[in-house]
Amino acid sequence: MAVSELDLDLDLDIFAGPFDLLMAVVLREEVSLLDLQLGEVVVAYVEHLEREGELELEVATEFLVLIAALLELKSRLMLPGPDDGLDELAPEEAVEELLARMLEYRRYRDASETLVERFEAARGYLYRSAPLPPELRRVAVEAATAVYDPEQLGAALGDLLAAPPEVDTSHIRSTVSLERRLRALREALARRPSFDFDEQFGGEDRLTQAVTLFALLELYRKGEVTWEQSKPFGPIEIRKVVAGHE
């Protein structure tokens, strides 16, 4: 049951009819919120509860939330701030604000219901907290008996404190990027127009040298470099290509 289903008839100075109709005409500005005496509405609801003799907690909570929101809106209309601009509160703005308040209340209500359901579902798993039996509260150290071998415990702790062996990573090859080797070739050519390949890259590993050769072929394809090798397996001289010259 919700507030919209509340069977509350009102007989006020400016309105006579059901409560839900009053909310509708207030939001349509057919009845000014400034002229509505909210205290009379609350008194009428209390009298309604006394006649019914039964309190619907959910309906009462929604009613209080709605009345509280209307009171705040009315106070802001009566005492607007210098820059609030609330003296001309549009009907749709009032509807949105009231709806936001009711939705916020319903979110908290639904969350509380979910928590209650989870608590009830886990009730069988709750443990009972109880103090120690009297005979166990005071036990002399002399009465205690060893339940473990000290040497075995010391050996176990020693194994935990020992540093593990160093992991062998010799099988992992470092990644050689073609882009990095292109950059290395261009930087070398920026420092001097020509250089010997072995002198520049002879200290690198075989994989790095192989990728550097691929980078050299890429630069040759783009017309940035050329090279000369006077004899098979001889030194390779790499030269930078200048525009209009080789």
For 187-220, what is each residue's pLDDT tens digit?
988 888 888 888 888 888 888 888 888 888 988 8
Q: Where are the domains of the chain?
A: 3-121, 178-240
Cβ neighbour number for residue 62 with a 10 Å cutoff: 20
Cα–Cα distance for residue pair 29/33, rounded to 1 Å: 8
Name the DSSP letter for residue 34: T
Which amino acid appears at position 34 of this protein?
L
Q: Residue 166 has which token pair?
A: 């160093």
CB 113 within 8 A of CB 105: no
> Looking at domain 178-240, does it have CATH number 1.10.10.580?
yes
pLDDT for 1 beyond 50: no
CB 25 within 8 A of CB 31: yes
Q: Which of 24-38, 80-94, 193-207 has the lowest mean pLDDT?
A: 80-94
How confident is residue 180, by pLDDT bands cut at 50, 70 and 90?
confident
**pLDDT for the residue numbered 229:** 84
* This prediction's pTM: 0.36
The contacts of residue 74 (CB under 8 Å, 6+ apart) are 33, 34, 36, 38
Q: What number is the average pLDDT over the span 102-130? A: 77
How confident is residue 88, by pLDDT bands cut at 50, 70 and 90?
low
